[in-house]
Amino acid sequence: MIMPSWDDLKYALALSRHGRMNSAAQSLGINVATMSRRIERLGEELGQPPFVKKADGWEASPMIAGLLEIAEDIEQRLGAEMNSIHAGTAGHSSSLSIGCPPIISLFMLFPNMSNRDPSLRNVNYTFTQRVMEEGMGENDLVIQYKRPESGRVITQKIVSLTSSIYRRKGGKPDSGWVSLSENYDASPFNQSAYAFFDEKPSVRVQSMYELYELVAAADMAGPLLDAIASNNPELEPVEGGEEICSTDLWLIYHASRKGDPVVEGTIAWIKDSFARLPSNRGDVVRLKTA
């Protein structure tokens, strides 16, 4: 019996993450033809197609779920081992990808970049925008609003952020309001805003960052994270709309990265970033060292 190699599995892992041949090929630095050939070769080794073509892309067959889990574990363990080898070695750099909502990186992580531990000075960070996506994707660390329900990941609640209704100072009370899109209608964030206004929003946007920018630029009111909006002197809470909602943020990373010095150092920096939030605007969860 022919056993799939790591080289075979990394192509399957890329396609399962991206769902499209061109995106998966680009992530590996190869062309689409090579990507297609390698997936076809894996199918020959397995005796059946490893992926099924769907309307919105390629979906992994349940038959290879175990192989993908092994491939994910190998990739993460290799990354952790290389970081351990390079830890404290001059001239060596490590890479780490962090996936999170843009408003979290822009207002909470980026301002605290200079306070990272000196041991992280040779780490090259990539930040990817993630809001509604499931799973880790190609990220080493993920910060998201929803707690994952499965997978070999370590999950920790890192902070609870309150939200209030804000309006630009001097704004007209009857100028309408703005909300996140219908994609978030099931969330407490949208539901609490609907309950407060008791009317349909005048404008909908796709992200909390757009929501913040629009409320700050127009007369329309809208729900905003207190940790961010309370620092803008041009905004003020709408009477009766204080702390209408609380949103949990979850920190997620693969279980095999436990003990990785770069991951652990980065987690400590992320915790410090949230610990610097105003104490009355977000309940930071004190976490044990990961």
pLDDT tens digits for range 220-245: 999 999 999 998 999 999 999 999 99
Separation CA 193–CA 185 (nearest Å): 10
Residues with Cβ within 8 Å of 37's Cβ and at least 6 positions away in sequence, in order, are none
Pairwise pLDDT comparison (94 vs 86), residue with the higher score? 94
In this prediction, residue 216 carries a pLDDT of 93
Highest-confidence segment of 55-64, 147-156, 186-195:
186-195
The continuous run of DSSP H or E covering 83 comes out as helix 65-86
pLDDT of residue 85: 64
pTM, to two decimals: 0.69
pLDDT of 83 over the 80 cut: no
Q: Is 60 exceeded by the pLDDT of residue 7?
A: yes
Q: Is the dihedral of CA 171, 173, 178, 179 positive or negative?
A: positive
Q: Is a pLDDT exceeding 80 seen at residue 289?
A: no
The contacts found for 36-44 with CB under 8 angstroms, 24 or more apart, are 38/8, 38/11, 39/11, 39/12, 39/15, 41/8, 42/4, 42/8, 42/9, 42/11, 42/12
86 is written with which tokens?
A: 């390079």
pLDDT at residue 256, rounded to an integer: 78
User: Could you tell me which residues come within 8 angstroms of residue 105 by beta carbon, excluding any fewer than 6 positions away?
Assistant: 98, 127
Of 219 and 287, the one with more pLDDT:
219
Domains and CATH numbers, the chain: 1-92 (1.10.10.10), 93-290 (3.40.190.290)
Beta-strand pair 153-168/283-284: antiparallel
Residue 56: burial class (beta carbons within 10 Å; 0-12, 13-18, 19+):
exposed
pLDDT of 286 above 70? no
Instruction: Tell me the C-alpha distance between 129 and 103, whole Å.
Output: 9
If you average pLDDT over residues 251-259, what whole number do you get?
85
Q: Which residue has the higher pLDDT, 157 or 85?
A: 157
CB 145 within 8 A of CB 187: yes
User: 164 pLDDT exceeds 60?
Assistant: yes
**Contacts of 203 by beta carbon, 8 Å cutoff, 6+ apart:** 176, 178, 179, 214, 220
Q: Give CA–CA dist 60/49, Å, rounded.
A: 9
CB atoms within 10 A of CB 132: 11
Is the separation of the CB atoms in 145 and 251 below 8 Å? no
- What ranges in 87-133 are assigned the alpha helix state H? 102-104
Average of pLDDT values for 255-263? Answer: 84
